[in-house]
């Protein structure tokens, strides 16, 4: 992107992050629906967002869809009758998935339900209790230390009912039914980097993809963490075998270096394409190996699925002090980092789109290139040496078994030099494209789930 374009994109993304922070969202409930309403409003009119509702109690793999949680209000009132904490001021003040509670109790008893960060006395922590019935408030350690003795009034007006889990899905068809999966979680409230930045960048990617010709079919998911990806995998056995590449987006707006976490396979095309896109920036970045700890990549990369899905972000979760605190705010993210993350992701997609397996139609000896005008046809795109070496390497390695990314890595050439050479050679009949081959492990995973059934209500 040009500097001007990057500035425009960065500020658009920053404004989106700000708009996405307020809803009181969790893994279920009206906060998720409100967030998806914001997503729909930010998307171009031609990009359809489908909202799925999966009923409470539905079995999904080894899990069950939990009760739906909603919040009407939550306050802690001090001995003097003044409001000490109000979730309306900051959603982080309420322990996520708190059960309803109305009670009066002394400070000594209340303390068992208060959460703070002694090492960060001015920050409010983010805490949840999804699968255990509990209630509580989160506050700064300075607030906690200043609470006077006396009797406090707890007013937590929440509900846990038979409802549903809600997630959003965008499908942008390509010329192939092979799929590129992009996911981001939407269950964290009031935090900019984790996870409003992922939602915002996914919206921007959807808009950019909708405006271009697509080889792959793109599926973008806005899902609650862990239970959302498990639910999607359980409900979509027929799609799993079509996934060729995938990215989990999270933490895209902080000032840390771009970081990519490889898929479980470690050498999937998405792993190599992202590494090349990062290298092309010429700036510091990190590439880390897969581990079964993190975000939804661990579900997509679980051994039964073993999908080619990596995770892209900046500073890694748990490695920066602002993580899961009120300090993950609009001052923690920048338009520049958001635009940079989007640019790297777009470049990764461009490389995957352009990667093809070709076969040389004249493999016996070197075909005469000059009389076919090949040097002139791509002469304006790069220097002479890159032109010649790109043409020669593609002709030599395009044997029907290697993709362009393989050739670029072997030849140590820029990917575009190889891709442009292949286009030129194909244009004069010296290359033909080989059909892609489905991933065996993904197909086996899909087959094993073909008999699975689960209820899902779709809202267009």
Strand pairing partners for 180?
218, 245
324 is in an annotated binding site: yes
The torsion angle over the Cα atoms of residues 354, 281, 308 and 294, rounded to 10 degrees, is -160
SS3 state at 233: helix
Nearest to 228 by CA among 1, 386, 101, 58: 58
Q: Which secondary structure element, helix H or strand E, spans residue 52, and what is its range?
A: strand 50-55
188 is in an annotated binding site: yes
Question: Which tokens in the block code for residue 341?
Answer: 């993350």
* Rounded-to-integer distance, Cα 363 and Cα 366, Å: 7
How would you class 273 by CB atoms within 10 Å of its CB: exposed for 0-12, middle for 13-18, buried for 19 or more? buried
Question: Residue 335 phi/psi, 5° resolution?
Answer: -60, -35
How far lies 305's CA from each of 185, 253, 399, 442, 447, in Å?
19, 30, 30, 6, 11
How far lies 83's CA from each of 76, 79, 146, 358, 406, in Å?
6, 9, 14, 69, 63
* Rounded-to-integer distance, Cα 121 and Cα 141, Å: 4
The torsion angle over the Cα atoms of residues 157, 161, 163 and 164, rounded to 10 degrees, is 80
Please give the angle made by the CA atoms of 368, 371 and 373, to the nearest 5 degrees: 110
SS3 state at 152: strand
Nearest to 103 by CA among 181, 155, 142: 155
End-to-end Cα, the chain, rounded Å: 34
Q: CB–CB of 229/65 below 8 Å?
A: no
Q: Which residues are annotated as a binding site?
A: 188, 194, 324
Q: Which residues are annotated as a binding site for Zn(2+)?
A: 188, 194, 324
């Amino acid at each position: 992107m040009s500097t001007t374009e990057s500035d425009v994109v960065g500020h658009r993304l920053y404004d989106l992050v700000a708009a996405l922070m307020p809803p009181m969202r969790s893994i279920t409930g009206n906060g998720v629906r409100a967030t998806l309403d914001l997503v729909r409003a930010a998307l171009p009119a031609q990009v359809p967002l489908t909202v799925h509702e999966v009923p409470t109690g539905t079995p999904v793999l080894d899990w069950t869809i939990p009760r739906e949680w909603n919040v009407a209000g939550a306050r802690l009132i001090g001995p003097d009758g003044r409001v000490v904490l109000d979730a309306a001021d900051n959603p982080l003040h309420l322990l996520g998935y708190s059960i309803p509670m109305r009670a009066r109790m002394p400070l000594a008893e209340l303390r068992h339900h208060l959460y703070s960060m002694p090492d960060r006395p001015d920050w409010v922590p983010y805490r949840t209790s999804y699968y255990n019935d509990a209630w509580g408030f989160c506050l700064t350690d300075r607030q906690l230390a200043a609470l006077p003795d006396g009797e406090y009034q707890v007013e937590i007006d929440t509900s846990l009912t038979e409802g549903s889990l809600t997630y959003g899905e965008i499908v942008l068809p390509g010329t192939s039914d092979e799929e590129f999966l992009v996911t981001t979680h939407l269950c964290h409230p009031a935090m900019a980097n984790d996870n409003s930045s992922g939602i915002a960048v996914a919206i921007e990617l959807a808009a950019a993809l909708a405006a271009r010709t697509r080889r792959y079919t793109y599926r973008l998911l806005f899902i609650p963490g862990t239970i959302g990806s498990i639910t999607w995998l359980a409900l979509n056995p027929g799609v799993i075998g079509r996934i060729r590449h995938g990215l989990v987006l999270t933490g895209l707006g902080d000032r840390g270096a771009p970081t990519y976490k490889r898929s479980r396979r470690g050498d999937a095309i998405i792993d190599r394409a992202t590494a090349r896109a990062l290298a092309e920036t010429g700036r510091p970045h990190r590439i880390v190996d897969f581990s079964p700890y993190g975000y939804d990549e661990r579900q997509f990369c679980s051994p039964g699925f073993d999908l080619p899905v990596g995770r892209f972000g900046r500073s890694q979760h748990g490695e920066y002090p602002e993580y899961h605190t009120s300090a993950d705010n609009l001052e923690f993210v920048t338009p520049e980092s958001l635009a940079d993350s989007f640019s790297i992701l777009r470049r990764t997609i461009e490389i995957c789109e352009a990667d093809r397996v070709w076969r040389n139609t004249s493999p016996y000896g070197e075909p005469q290139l000059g009389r076919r005008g090949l040097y002139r046809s791509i002469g304006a795109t790069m220097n002479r040496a890159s032109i010649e070496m790109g043409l020669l390497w593609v002709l030599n390695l395009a044997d029907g078994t290697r993709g362009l990314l393989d050739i670029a890595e072997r030849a140590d050439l820029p990917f575009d030099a190889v891709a442009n050479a292949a286009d030129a050679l194909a244009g004069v009949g010296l290359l033909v494209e080989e059909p892609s081959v489905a991933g065996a492990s993904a197909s086996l995973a899909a087959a094993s789930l073909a008999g699975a059934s689960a209820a899902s209500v779709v809202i267009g």
